[in-house]
């Protein structure tokens, strides 16, 4: 049996006010179950039996009250694994595995039937598929109290007649809907949030004004399908991985939502956004306050937005280059722009008297070489956003990037009083593989004098070594004899940097999660560092 409960962070509430928390031993057991090659069969079987016993004991709270009194279960999360199936085995062996899969499905059904005897408000099921068949979930087994249903990696058996009248939130990811998506919506009259991503067997999805939907998320990653939305109550609409022919449908009557306030479009790399499309969307939804689009832009090289928007987010795919950005949005509060580092717009015209937050995200491409002109261009671009309450810069380095011959400090000779006042500089992704990472950080620090600097890694999660190098580099002012770099590149930096404090540190120490704030010294016994944020105090210059 391979049922796994990875985390049950939300509690099982019984009447009147008792709750149940789950142990922390599950992750290590989970790893053993997922890797049959890492342990012997007998050991793996013992772990599975131990885990099953533990889960049954954990769910004992559902038995305690008997039939005369039901528990109120605020949230029940189940993470399950269907066994690996070695496809190269013979057909005769497949029958054995098929029986095993049926046995595993019965295990899932038993546990769901157990909680179904109680009042469940939120159900979160996620099945990792290591077999040829899917687990099929039957929502009819649940009491009418269910409000939130999250399903991932399974098939959904949609009831023929029963109404799920209490459903308010439905999130489906990689779920087989068997062509009955429309019927599913028809039996959920109280639905307010619908999130469908990477789902299968959806030919057409129609959402009418009969529903109370306020939030809709549609993803087309697995297969394309047509849609029609006519809902006056809808406030947010997010469309992801939209093929070109579907993207045009939103302009041609596929969406009729007069009260829409937030719209997000994420297109494929082969789909182009034009100024005409942006203009049409803004005029089509008169109450739109937030617009986000992630796509390639057309060849006009000039991006124009004129509207009443309060938040605008733009992400350009690949090496798509926009030379000029013209934004006429007097009420704009938040502006976010993301592009490759070598495609920073040469000109930006931003007409907004209320702008509070401006974010610039730069993704460095393979083989990109940085030089004096690039830092000058970045500094000039950032100067367009002063004054604002918060100006943030995020960069994602690439392992195969470098610097042109010459000293980047030549571009940083202007007084700090004339620099854009950056609130936060964030370096993310995998900086530890970049040879000239320190040179990049120093160039950015001299370019914008941020109040805080954070270093974060998504994969691998350990940036311990790089954080130590940055810390020593920043703190070398305290030790003039320190020689952390092969040359004196840090001279210019130290002439302007007054003091450094470790504002936040997240990592691992003695096998436990470590979190600390406002440190003056970097701990030396950390096993892993995931996030490090430095507070920088700069010297004032005339």
| Domain regions of the chain by residue span | 1-157
Contact partners, residue 110, CB within 8 Å, separation at least 6: none
Is the bond preceding 308 in cis, omega lying within 30 degrees of 0? no
pLDDT tens string 363-378: 887 778 888 888 888 9
**DSSP character for 214?**
-
Query: How far is it, in rounded angstroms, from Cα 18 to Cα 74?
Result: 12
Identify any residues that bridge with 362 across adjacent strands, giving them in sequence order: 339, 395
> Across the chain, what does the average pLDDT equal?
73
Q: 452 pLDDT exceeds 90? A: yes
Backbone angles phi, psi at 2, to 5 degrees: -125, 30
- Better-scored residue on pLDDT, 171 or 277: 171
CB 506 within 8 A of CB 528: no
Give the residue, 444 or 271, on which the prediction is more confident. 444
Contact 526, 508 (CB under 8 A): yes
Quickly tell me which residue has 């900086």 as its tokens. Answer: 431
Q: Which residues contact 258 (CB under 8 A, 6 or more apart)?
A: 232, 285, 286, 287
Identify the H or E element spanning 110: helix 91-116
116-135 CB burial, b ≥16 within 10 A, e <16: bbbbbbbbbbbbbbebeebb
The least confident of 128-142, 216-230, 272-286 is 128-142
CA distance 268 to 196: 18
For residue 191, what is the DSSP state?
-
CB 55 within 8 A of CB 25: no
* Residues 401-424: b if buried by 16+ CB within 10 A, e if exposed: bebeeeebbebbeeebeebbbbbb
With 80 as the cut, is the pLDDT of residue 352 above it? yes
Q: In the prediction, which pLDDT does 5 show? A: 38
Give per-residue pLDDT as tens, 364-416.
Answer: 877 788 888 888 889 888 888 877 889 999 998 876 777 776 655 555 555 55
Cβ–Cβ under 8 Å, residues 202 and 180: no
Angle between helices 464-475 and 437-448 (to 10 degrees): 50
- The answer, yes or no, to whether residue 103 has pLDDT greater than 90, is no
Q: Is the Cα dihedral 364, 370, 373, 376 positive or negative?
A: positive
Structural tokens at position 297: 């832009």
Q: Is 304 buried (19+), middle (13-18) or exposed (0-12) by CB count in 10 A? A: middle
Nearest one of 293, 286, 228, 238 to 260, comparing CA atoms:
286
Parallel/antiparallel/unpaired status of strands 369-370 and 402-403 = parallel
Q: For the chain, what is the largest distance between any 2 Cα atoms, rounded to a whole number of angstroms?
A: 83
CA 195 to chain centre: 15
Q: Cα separation of 104 and 52, whole Å?
A: 12
Around 415, how many Cα atoms within 13 Å sit in the side-chain half-sphere?
5
Q: What is the pLDDT of residue 3?
A: 33
Residue 475: predicted pLDDT: 76
List, in sequence order, every residue forming a beta bridge with 426; answer none if it has no partner: 394, 454
Is 476 within 8 Å of 494 (Cβ atoms)? Answer: yes
Tell me the sheet residues that pair with 342.
none
């Amino acid at each position: 049996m391979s049922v796994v409960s990875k985390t049950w962070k939300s509690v099982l509430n019984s009447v009147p006010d008792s709750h149940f928390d789950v142990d922390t031993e599950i992750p290590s057991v989970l790893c053993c179950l997922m890797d049959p090659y890492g342990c012997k069969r007998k050991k793996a079987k013992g772990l599975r039996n131990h885990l099953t016993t533990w889960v049954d004991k954990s769910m004992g709270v559902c038995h305690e009250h008997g039939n005369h009194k039901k528990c109120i279960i605020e949230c029940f999360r189940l993470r399950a694994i269907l066994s690996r199936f070695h496809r190269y085995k013979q057909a005769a062996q497949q029958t054995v595995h098929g029986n095993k899969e049926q046995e595993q499905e019965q295990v899932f059904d038993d546990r769901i039937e157990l909680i179904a005897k109680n009042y469940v408000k939120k159900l979160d099921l996620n099945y990792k598929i290591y077999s040829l068949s899917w687990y099929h979930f039957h929502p009819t087994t649940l009491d009418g109290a269910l409000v939130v249903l999250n399903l991932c990696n399974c098939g959904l058996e949609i009831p023929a007649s029963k109404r799920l009248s209490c459903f308010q939130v439905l999130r489906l990811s990689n779920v087989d809907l068997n062509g009955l998506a429309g019927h599913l919506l028809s039996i959920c009259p109280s639905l307010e949030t619908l999130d469908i991503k990477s789902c299968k067997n959806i030919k057409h999805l129609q959402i009418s004004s009969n529903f109370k939907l306020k939030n809709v998320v549609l993803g087309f990653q697995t297969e394309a399908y047509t849609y029609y939305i006519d809902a006056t109550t809808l406030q947010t609409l997010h469309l992801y991985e939209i093929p070109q022919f579907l993207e045009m449908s939103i302009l041609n009557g596929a969406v009729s939502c007069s009260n829409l306030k937030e719209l997000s479009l994420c297109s494929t790399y082969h789909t182009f956004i034009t100024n005409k499309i942006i203009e049409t969307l803004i005029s089509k939804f008169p109450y739109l306050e937030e617009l986000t689009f992630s796509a390639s832009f057309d060849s006009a090289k000039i991006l124009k937005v004129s509207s009443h928007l309060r938040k605008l987010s733009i992400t350009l795919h690949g090496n798509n280059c926009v030379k000029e950005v013209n934004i006429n949005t007097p009420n704009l509060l938040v502006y976010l722009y993301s592009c490759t580092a070598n495609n920073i717009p040469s000109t930006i015209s931003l007409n907004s008297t209320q702008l509070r937050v401006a974010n610039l995200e730069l993704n460095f491409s393979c083989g990109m070489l940085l030089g004096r002109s690039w830092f000058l261009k970045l500094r000039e671009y950032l100067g367009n956003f002063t004054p604002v309450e918060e100006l943030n810069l995020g960069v994602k380095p690439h392992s195969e990037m470098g610097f042109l011959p010459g000293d980047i400090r030549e571009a940083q000779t202007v007084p700090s009083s004339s620099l854009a006042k950056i609130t936060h500089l964030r370096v993310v992704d995998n900086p530890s593989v970049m040879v000239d990472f320190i040179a990049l950080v120093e160039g950015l620090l001299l370019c914008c004098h941020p109040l805080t600097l954070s270093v974060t890694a998504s994969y691998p999660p350990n940036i311990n070594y790089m954080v130590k190098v940055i810390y020593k580099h920043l703190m070398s002012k305290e030790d003039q004899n320190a020689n952390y770099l092969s040359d004196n590149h840090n001279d210019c930096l130290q002439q302007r940097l007054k003091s450094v404090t470790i504002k936040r540190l997240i990592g691992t120490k003695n096998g436990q999660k470590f979190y600390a704030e406002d440190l003056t010294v970097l701990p030396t016994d950390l096993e892993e560092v995931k996030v490090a944020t430095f507070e920088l105090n700069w010297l004032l210059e005339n």
